[in-house]
Structure 1
Amino acid sequence: MNVEIAQRLADRRKQAGLSQEALAEQLGVSRQAVSKWERSESSPDTDNLIALAQLYGLSLDDLLYVDDEIRDDVTFEAADRAAKREAEQAAPAASAVADPPPAPADAAAAAGATTEAEATYGPGVSSSDKKGKVHIGPGGIHVVDGDEYVHVSWRDGVHVRDGKKGEEVHVGWDGVHVKSPGNGAGDDDVLVDGAKVVINGEQFDSWQDAHERYRHGWDQDERWYEPCAYSVQGERFDNLDDARAKYGDEVGKSIPVRKHYLRDFEKSWVKFPYPLVVIIVYLLLGILNGAWAMGLFLFLTIPLYYMVGHAIGRKRIVPLISGAYPIAVVAWFCWMAFVLNQPHPAWVAFLTIPVVEWLVHSLSHWWRDRKRRNAAAKDAPIDVDAQ
């Protein structure tokens, strides 16, 4: 399918507020089929095109916005699919007959195929057989060989697909789109245009941002390098659940999402060697005052230090409370048990940890839901009854 038509089908689906799964369910096809339509790897048949037009309340012309150039591409692709079907049907008969001389009808068919290709792409040199089809002319170079193809033209740019590896590259006026599946961690999908870079559904402002994200080990520390916020369609969200609640499950897939990582304050906070300071202070207390046992409490402040920086940088108090309370309980129990020799009933404090954690997270979810409802009510249209 033509890349422009595939993009229009994807835009129509998003405007209708449907995910690929929801559209596939309504049409009675698989989600992979819808995904291939929108990646221009295959074309919906006539029945599905009619069903799409009825679903969106459009005519077929309005659905596809077919112009003369796109109609040529569609005609060529339809002729190619018909040629492949004819070749598959003729294969058994050809195996039973040992290389018969070409009949006049076959010569006429070949001439007709050449004429059809020239009518589609203009004058040029055309060649076709059971394996593939080639056309070279002013309209570009078009080579189709089963699932593999190469299309080169001034209008659409360069579109290459490797059927064996499933890799696909499109270079056009709208940018560069690279898809490379089967690389272990999942499909690699890269889209580059003049305004942004999108890698696996994650949007960056420039190649420098993308290089920093994937080059300097951002994923090595899940706690400090997890995104602190997300932006979808220019709107900022605290988490992906809020974004998907508004824009659907395609967020991070067909709808790019921009992830916001650590701020400069957090980076500076992490770079400070606080654990080294604690070790030095502990050694000084032990050597000068003999407080080797009491000095161990200093090591409990190391995770607290990073939690405080995390909370200040992201302006979120919930992670600080959720992480600091268990540490405080451990410190208090150690004081009661080893300093005051009263482990009982100090151990009861550990039973409060799950209660406090549940209460903190419940209040956090309630607060986020409240903010989301208030934002939705603020953006909702106001109905005014006619007086």
Structure 2
Amino acid sequence: MAARPEAAALEVAELVDHHCHSVVAVELADDALAGLLTESDRPPAPGCSPFDSAIGLAVRRWCPPALGLPAHTPAADYLARRRELGAAEAARRLLAAAGLDTCLVDTGLTAAADRELLPLTELAEATGAVVREVVRLETVAEAVTAGAEDWPRAVGEALAAAAASAVAVKSVLAYRHGLAAPAERPARTAVVAAAGAWLHGGRGRLADPVLLHHLLWTAVDVCAELGLPIQLHTGFGDPDLTLHRADPSLLTDFVRAAEPSGVPLVLLHAYPYHRQAAWLAQAFPTVYTDLGLTASYTGPRVAAVLGEMLELAPFGKLLFSTDAYGLPELFLVGTAQFRQGLGALLADWQAEGACSAADGQRLARMIGADNARRLYAL
């Protein structure tokens, strides 16, 4: 049997990052910087470093050349060079090297008081990309000060106002209660009672399931009126999340119930439930998905994981995102990993006779940018 020819990665050029965050604007200590390479908010175990991971290897593969160093430079030398350049110059180089066309930025995630994030205008300047806002539902709801009786109406009005200039809204229901949202809208009496208890308790973090489910259905109504998608965190994240409750298949009843609205539901990240997300995208016309930060965290396995997602996900339903937060490195790693992984996967398909060269280039354009442009009307 003749050996299969070695595949050359196809070019994945233009990228629309349909879900990301801003970056820290100040100089970080080495430990603080390394801590942003993990989803954990805990310090590493003794003798362990976030650089000794698949994402750590990816950072050392893709980022040193942007700072004038060879690929795979040791972490200590990389960090020293970063300090030498300064946070602003390092960020400028790393973000420019990512080569993004458009960034859709979730503004609901804030930094610590000593780690201010770049405003959207400055992020746009640093990336050279068009930057648009994604509004986080829970952040909007937590700012509403109306009394319990007026809370349902006030939340709808606040969300409509916040989303008027945005390209999407986003829910972190997976973190607050889990994704098992019921198909039925909560009764108004239940919402008012839950709002009263939340207000009486001093407001704070919105975690009551009745209020969260009311907020999600409110988003369906607002987004149907404005023509916007709803993004939902699914899959892995920081320790605030209970992983099995973030399985996107738990949303199935809600997806069916919301389908008549026509509002697109975009499942973010998904891993290790990326096959469930792919099934939902195949089964329901309103569902879309991405691999998100999984592309960065899986390191050299990115092509394999993308292949698992594309076993079922329609090619017009898969989007690109970095979910980068805090570190400009995560923008460059996210884009480089995705380009390399998708390019290698499609080249393998072509070498195996599964698709033509024209098919491969067309799919790369769709997944990298065109699907997002269509979905978000960019």
- Calculate the TM-score normalised by the size of structure 2: 0.27
RCO higher in 1 or 2 (8 Å CA, sep ≥ 6)?
Answer: 2
Determine which structure has the larger helix proportion and give its number: 1
- Calculate the TM-score normalised by the size of structure 1: 0.26
